[in-house]
Amino acid sequence: DRGSVQNSPKSYDVEYLMPVSLGTPAQQLNLDLDTGSSDFWVFSTLLKESMINGQTLYDPNASTTADKMEGYSWKITYGDQSYSSGDVYVDTVTIGDLTVSTQAVEAAREVSEEFTADSDNDGLVGLGFGIINTVMPYKQKTFFEKAMPGLDSPVFTADLKSGAPGRYNFGYIDDGAYTGNITYVPVNSSDGFWSWVSPGFQVGTTGSFNNTRIHGIADTGTTLLLLPEGVCEAFYGRIASAKYDASQGGYTFECNDSTTPDFYFGTGNGQMIRIPGSYLAYSKIDTSSLRCFGGMQSDSGVGFTIWGDIALKAAFIVFDQGSERLGWAEK
Ligand SMILES: N[C@H]1[C@H](O)[C@@H](Sc2ccccc2)[C@@H]2OC[C@H]1O2
């Protein structure tokens, strides 16, 4: 079996949403595929009105195939301190023609203000490893873990684009979606993340390759690229107008600063992925400003590097759960 679904970026590529069908008859919600967490949760009719702001709600009572998991609950807090919690139902879920008939669907009773404010986002499909699923008393499998045994190949791929729709594929690798070769790197899933080690980085075409191993996770649900302080300093040190602006909470520089270099990160076997300098001018700090907030920021608050959408949209990535490895290719 296999599946393929289009993903669509919201403004500034802040997140990527995909259509998902839940229940019988199908209820379609727009969900955020998040390789940095492992709960499948949705806005639901259980929510207080004050927490809803235009989102589409999953109504388990309107689904003939929904069964409540009595005595089960969930509560998750994300890296940015946003949170959600609620009850659990088993129901059928289809993503891109791929159906899981008994998915644990976590129906929200409570969501934090960040989720309420994000009116286009109806919930998350966590495709990290099930070991960090928050359902109690027994953790539940991710959509991919449920689908994996029936797939042609135990992989899913992410093709995120800058300001344009891309695709998530399940169970196969589309050889037309990338150029050159796919370089595979081992994954350590013990923390539930797609955790891997980059052999180093290079700033611009003329900079030397810096053999500093970077431990981090591939996270489709994080917008920016969060790297060690030293890497940020090496990159922003090459941009004439760049500075760390405490009032903005990060590095900023003039959006059109022509000294902005590309950023390359190693994936192994000598391969590098090139992130165009233009991706690193993330967004204007305010409508009247000529300065942009950097797409690369320090990971000092997190403790490990997060290869978020700024990096992922420069590549074609294979999340190979069968072999616990990540595949990286240019495109
Ligand atoms: N893996 C990521 C996750 O998807 C988001 S949760 C989220 C919050 C508000 C709006 C949309 C998504 C949060 O930021 C980084 C990390 O935690």
| C-beta of 79 in contact with ligand 1 (< 6 A) | yes
| Spatial CB neighbours of 35, under 8 Å, sequence gap ≥ 6 | 127, 128, 158, 193, 194, 217, 218, 219, 220, 221, 319
List the residue whose alpha carbon is closest to atom 3 of ligand 1: 221
Mean pLDDT of 222-241: 98
Q: What is the pLDDT of residues 17-40, one digit of tens each?
A: 999 999 999 999 999 999 999 999
Peptide bond into 137 cis (omega under 30): yes
d(CA 216, CA 214): 6
Average pLDDT, the chain: 98
Q: Give the nearest ligand 1 atom to 15 CA.
A: 11
Check if 91 is active-site. Answer: no
φ, ψ for residue 104, nearest 5 deg: -75, 110
Q: Which two tokens stand for residue 326?
A: 């990540």
Per DSSP, the three-state class of 320 is: strand
Q: What is the DSSP letter of 187?
A: -
Residue 173 has pLDDT above 90, yes or no: yes
Q: Which two tokens stand for residue 295?
A: 């797409």
Check if 63 is active-site. Answer: no
CA 154 / ligand 1 centre spacing (Å): 25
- Residue 9 contacts residue 33 (beta carbons within 8 Å): no
Q: Which two tokens stand for residue 139?
A: 């953790």
What pLDDT does 207 receive? Answer: 84
Indicate the pLDDT class of residue 139, thresholds 50, 70 and 90: very high
d(CA 311, CA 307): 6
Residue 174 has pLDDT above 90, yes or no: yes
What pLDDT does 301 receive? Answer: 85
Residue 47 has pLDDT above 90, yes or no: yes
d(CA 270, CA 200): 10
d(CA 15, CA 34): 10
pLDDT above 70 covers a percentage of the chain that reads 100
Q: What is the pLDDT of residues 280-306, one digit of tens each?
A: 999 999 999 999 999 999 999 898 999
Indicate which residue of 37, 44, 85, 198 is catalytic: 198
| C-beta of 32 in contact with ligand 1 (< 6 A) | yes
Mean pLDDT of 127-154: 98
- Residue 74 contacts residue 136 (beta carbons within 8 Å): yes
CA 221 / ligand 1 centre spacing (Å): 5
Mutate to test the pocket of ligand 1, among 77, 78, 319 (most ligand atoms within 8 A of CB): 78
What pLDDT does 65 receive? Answer: 98
pLDDT above 90 covers a percentage of the chain that reads 99
Q: Give the nearest ligand 1 atom to 35 CA.
A: 1
| C-beta of 221 in contact with ligand 1 (< 6 A) | yes
Indicate the pLDDT class of residue 206, thresholds 50, 70 and 90: confident
Q: What is the DSSP letter of 237?
A: T
Complex ipTM value: 0.97
Mean pLDDT of 243-247: 98
Q: What is the pLDDT of residues 53-109, one digit of tens each?
A: 999 999 999 999 999 999 999 999 999 999 999 999 999 999 999 999 999 999 999
List the residue whose alpha carbon is closest to atom 8 of ligand 1: 82
CA 75 / ligand 1 centre spacing (Å): 14
